[in-house]
């Protein structure tokens, strides 16, 4: 994995992939309920994150419900927090 990315960078990626305003991408936002992501968008987002070296295994992905869940998982994998 490359350098650690901040929450701001992470939220920018999510906003681009889900085609939502960055202001909607907050830690408590649900991917499905708040950001209206369907399964195809979620897979595309996961692929984009993987391209950046952020891998969320399938068994864990089912437990990731919010933006904060996803970022916390990422931060734990890189050994520290760099945001929410």
Nearest to residue 1, comparing CAs of 84, 76, 83, 72? 76
38 is catalytic: yes
The reported pLDDT for the residue numbered 80 is 57
What domains lie within the chain, and their CATH numbers? 7-79 (1.10.1200.10)
DSSP string, 21-67: -GGG--TT-BTTTTT---HHHHHHHHHHHHHTT----HHHHTT--BH
Report whether pLDDT(3) > 70. Answer: no
Annotated catalytic residue: which of 19, 34, 38, 59? 38
Q: What pTM did the predictor assign?
A: 0.83
Report whether pLDDT(16) > 80. Answer: yes
Q: How far apart are CA 11 and CA 74, in angstroms?
A: 12
């Amino acid at each position: 994995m490359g350098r650690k990315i901040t929450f701001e960078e992470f939220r920018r990626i999510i906003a681009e992939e889900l085609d939502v305003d960055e202001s909607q991408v907050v830690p408590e936002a649900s991917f499905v309920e708040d950001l209206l992501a369907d399964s195809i968008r979620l897979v595309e987002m996961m692929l984009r994150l993987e391209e950046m070296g952020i891998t969320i295994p399938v068994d864990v992905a089912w437990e990731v419900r919010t933006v904060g869940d996803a970022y916390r998982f990422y931060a734990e994998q890189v050994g520290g927090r760099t945001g929410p």
